[in-house]
C-alpha cells in the first residue's frame, strides 16, 4: 500500500482535537484538580468514559469493514473479547502468589480445578510484550483464517453476517467450558496490577483513559489513511458493486481480507484496553447480542464516516448507562426502537444528518422510494 496523503475533513480534525484533548486533560481533571472541586473527574467517571472510548475503537473498526467494504460482521465482539482475554491472561499471571491459593504460577481457577501445570496456551503471558503481541495476533489470525475461507468462496451479504454470528457463538460456547482453560463461566478477574501499577489506583485509571483516547485517535488515523488511499477507493467500489470490481480484474477477496484483518486487530486492541478498566473478562463478551449492539453504534453515528461510528458508540452507551439506571425496563424498548428507527429513517446516521454534503453522495444501495420519502419526513 502506498503511503496515502491524509486529508482530514473538518469533522475529522475536530474529532482528533477532542480525543487528543481528552487524553491530555483527563489526568489533569482526575488527579490534579482537588476532589471537591466542580471540575474534578471522579474515578468512576474516568472508568466509565474510558470504557466508552474502547467501545468507540471497536465501532471505528466495525465501520471500516461495514461502512467502507460492505462486510456486516456480526462477530466483531469475538475479536474484541479475544483481545480482552489476551490482556486478561497477562493480568492473571501478574497476580502471582497474591491469589487466594497463593500459587506463584497457576491462576486461582486452575488451582481450584486441580490442574498441576500451566497449559501451553498460557505460556509466555507473564511478559507484557508477548501478551501485547497476542492481543493483536490472535484476533488477526482468526480473522485471517475465517476471512480467507469466507471471502474466497464469495460468501457475502447476510450469509456472511450469519456465519460471523455463528463464529462468535461458537467461541462463546467454547469459552464457557472450564476445560477450555480460560476460566470458564467466571472468566478472568481479580486483577492486581498492570506493568507494576495497581489497576485500582486513580493514576493507573487516568493513564488507561489517556491511552484509550490516544488509541482511538490512532485507530481513526489508520482507518482514515486506509480509506483515503487508492486501496480504500477500491474497497468502496467493492462495497458498491462487488461483481463489477471483480470483472475489472481486482482480487476482491484480497481487498476484503486485508481490511477484515486490520479491523479485527483494532477490535482486539480495544478489548485489551477495555479489560483492565472494567476489571473482568468473561464469556458473555462473546454474546452475539453484543456484536449486533456494536453494529447499531455505527449505524446511529453514521456508517462510512468513522467519526460518526466513534460518536455513535459513545452516545448509545451513554444512553444505555443512563436508561439502565433510571428506567431499566424500557432500555430494551429504546435499543430495539433505535435499531428500527435508525435503519428506517436515518440510513446515514446522525453525522449524515448533520453533514448534508455527505448525504448528497449516492448511497451504497439506493433505498426504495418509499424509504426515501420516509427518511425526508
What residue ranges bind other proteins (CB under 8 A)?
Answer: 70, 72, 146, 149-150, 152-159, 161-163, 165-167, 169-170, 173-174, 176-177, 242-243, 288, 292, 295-296, 299, 329-330, 332-333, 335-340, 342-344, 347, 365-368, 370-371, 374
Q: What whole-number distance in Å separates Cα of residue 79 and Cα of residue 35?
A: 37
- Report, in Å, the least distance between residue 260 CB and other proteins: 14
Widest CA span in the chain: 66
| CA distance readout (Å), 338 to 73, 144, 151, 244 | 19, 32, 31, 34
Closest CB to other proteins among residues 156, 355: 156
Minimum CB distance to other proteins, residue 192 (Å): 31
Nearer to other proteins, 35 or 152 (CB): 152
Identify the residue whose cell numbers are 486461582. Answer: 108
Q: Closest CB to other proteins among 279 and 367?
A: 367
Minimum distance between the CB of residue 157 and other proteins, rounded to whole angstroms?
6
Of 224 and 256, which has the nearer Cβ to other proteins?
256
Question: CA quadruple 27, 28, 29, 31: dihedral positive or negative?
Answer: positive
**Cα 284 → chain centroid:** 15
Task: Please report how close the Cβ of residue 15 comes to other proteins at its closest, in angstroms.
Answer: 24
Task: Indicate the residue among 94 and 291 with the shorter CB distance to other proteins.
Answer: 291
What is the spatial distance between Cα 63 and Cα 312, in angstroms, rounded to a whole number?
11
Write out the DSSP string of 230-290.
HHHHHHHHHHH-HHHHHHTT--HHHHHHHHHHHHHHHHHHHHHHHHHHHSEE-GGGG-HHH
Closest to other proteins by CB, 35 or 154: 154
Say what the alpha-carbon torsion angle 253, 254, 260, 265 is, to the nearest 10 degrees. 150
Phi and psi angles of residue 364, each rounded to the nearest 5 degrees, phi first: -60, -60
Q: Return d(Cα 319, Cα 372) in angstroms, integer.
A: 27
Q: Smallest gap, in angstroms, from Cβ of residue 58 to other proteins? A: 16
Q: Closest separation between CB of residue 35 and other proteins, Å?
A: 39
> How does DSSP classify residue 2?
P
In the complex, the smallest distance separating the C-beta of residue 307 from other proteins, rounded to whole angstroms, is: 20
Q: How far apart are CA 341 and CA 375, in angstroms?
A: 10
Taking the least distance from each CB to other proteins, the nearer of 205 and 358 is: 358
Amino acid at each position: 500500500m502506498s503511503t496515502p496523503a491524509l486529508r482530514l475533513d473538518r469533522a475529522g480534525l475536530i474529532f482528533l482535537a477532542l480525543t487528543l484533548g481528552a487524553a491530555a486533560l483527563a489526568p489533569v481533571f482526575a488527579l490534579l484538580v482537588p476532589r471537591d472541586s466542580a471540575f474534578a473527574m471522579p474515578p468512576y467517571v474516568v472508568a466509565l468514559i474510558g470504557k466508552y472510548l474502547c467501545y468507540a475503537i471497536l465501532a471505528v473498526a466495525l465501520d471500516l469493514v461495514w461502512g467502507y467494504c460492505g462486510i456486516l460482521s456480526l462477530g466483531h465482539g469475538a475479536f474484541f473479547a479475544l483481545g480482552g482475554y489476551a490482556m486478561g491472561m497477562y493480568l492473571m499471571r501478574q497476580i502471582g502468589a497474591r491469589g487466594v491459593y497463593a500459587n506463584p504460577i497457576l491462576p486461582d481457577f486452575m488451582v481450584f480445578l486441580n490442574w498441576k501445570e500451566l497449559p501451553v496456551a498460557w505460556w509466555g503471558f507473564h511478559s507484557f510484550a508477548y501478551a501485547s503481541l497476542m492481543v493483536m495476533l490472535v484476533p488477526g489470525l482468526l480473522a485471517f483464517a475465517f476471512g480467507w475461507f469466507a471471502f474466497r468462496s464469495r460468501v457475502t451479504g447476510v450469509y456472511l453476517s450469519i456465519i460471523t454470528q455463528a463464529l462468535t457463538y461458537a467461541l462463546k460456547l467454547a469459552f464457557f467450558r472450564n476445560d477450555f482453560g480460560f476460566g470458564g463461566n467466571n472468566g478472568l478477574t481479580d486483577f492486581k496490577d498492570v506493568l507494576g501499577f495497581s489497576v485500582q489506583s486513580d493514576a493507573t485509571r487516568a493513564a488507561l483513559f489517556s491511552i484509550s483516547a490516544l488509541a482511538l485517535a490512532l485507530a481513526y488515523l489508520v482507518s482514515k489513511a486506509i480509506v483515503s488511499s487508492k486501496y480504500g477507493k477500491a474497497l468502496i467500489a467493492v462495497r458498491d458493486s462487488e461483481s463489477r470490481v471483480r470483472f475489472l480484474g481486482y482480487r476482491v477477496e484480497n481487498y476484503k481480507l486485508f481490511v477484515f484483518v486490520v479491523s479485527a486487530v483494532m477490535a482486539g486492541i480495544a478489548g485489551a484496553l477495555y479489560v483492565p478498566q472494567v476489571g473482568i473478562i468473561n464469556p458473555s463478551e462473546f454474546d452475539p447480542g453484543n456484536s449486533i449492539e456494536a453494529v447499531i453504534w455505527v449505524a446511529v453515528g453514521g456508517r462510512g464516516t468513522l467519526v460518526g461510528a466513534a460518536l455513535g458508540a459513545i452516545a448509545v452507551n451513554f444512553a444505555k448507562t443512563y436508561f439502565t439506571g433510571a428506567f431499566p425496563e424500557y432500555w430494551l424498548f429504546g435499543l430495539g426502537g433505535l435499531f428500527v428507527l435508525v435503519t428506517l429513517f436515518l440510513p446515514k446516521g446522525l453525522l449524515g444528518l448533520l453533514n448534508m454534503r455527505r448525504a448528497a453522495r449516492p448511497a451504497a444501495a439506493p433505498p426504495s422510494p418509499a424509504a426515501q420519502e420516509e427518511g425526508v419526513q
